[in-house]
Amino acid sequence: MSLDPATLAAILAMAAATIFTRLAGLVMPASALRHPRARAAFEAVPAAVLAALIAPTVLATGWPETVAALLTALAALRLPLLAVVAVGVVAAALLRAVAG
């Protein structure tokens, strides 16, 4: 079990960066959320971040991913999350196999 000083420094730098980004939300003043537009913006954060996170995979990888995402979205309107995940994984695997 070795612990290289340069590796340790890199890990600590990465940790510092993630601690900063994770705690930065705490210092947002509560008053900033009182304005209706600010509130609308904050309510939109979850969907916006998640959409930005998956968009390159869904829209710019290939047709199997796009179609699988469409099927997953349809499933999400009706089914519980675990079933939605199952639909997505199976659809992606099958469609990728079809695409070769």
Partner 1 sequence: MGIGCAAHRKPQPARTGRRRRTEGFPVIFIQDPPVGGGYTAAMIAPPEPSPWHEARAGAVAILPAAVAVVPFALLLGALAAEKGLSPLEVALMSALVFAGSSQFVALDLWTTPAAWVTLGSAALLVNLRHILMGASIAPKMAGFHPIARVLALLLLADEIWAMAERRAAARPLTAAYFFGLGGLLYVNWVLFTTAGAVVGARFGDPAAYGFDFAFTAIFIGLIAGFRHTRGFLPTVAAAALAAVATQAVLPGPVSIAVGAAAGVAVAAILPPRREAAA
- State which of positions 24-53 bind partner 1 (CB under 8 A): 24-26, 28, 30, 33, 36-53
Q: Which residues contact 100 (CB under 8 A, 6 or more apart)?
A: none
What whole-number distance in Å separates Cα of residue 40 and Cα of residue 32?
12
Interaction of residue 56 with partner 1, rule CB under 8 A: yes
Report the candidate in 76, 68, 74 with the shortest Cα–Cα distance to residue 93.
68
Q: Is residue 96 a contact point for partner 1 (CB under 8 A)?
A: yes
Binding of residue 15 to partner 1 (CB under 8 A): yes
Measured distance CA(72)–CA(54) in Å, rounded:
13
Question: Shortest Cβ distance from residue 19 to partner 1 (Å)?
Answer: 7
| Footprint on residues 76-95 left by partner 1 (CB under 8 A) | 76-77, 81-82, 84-85, 87-93
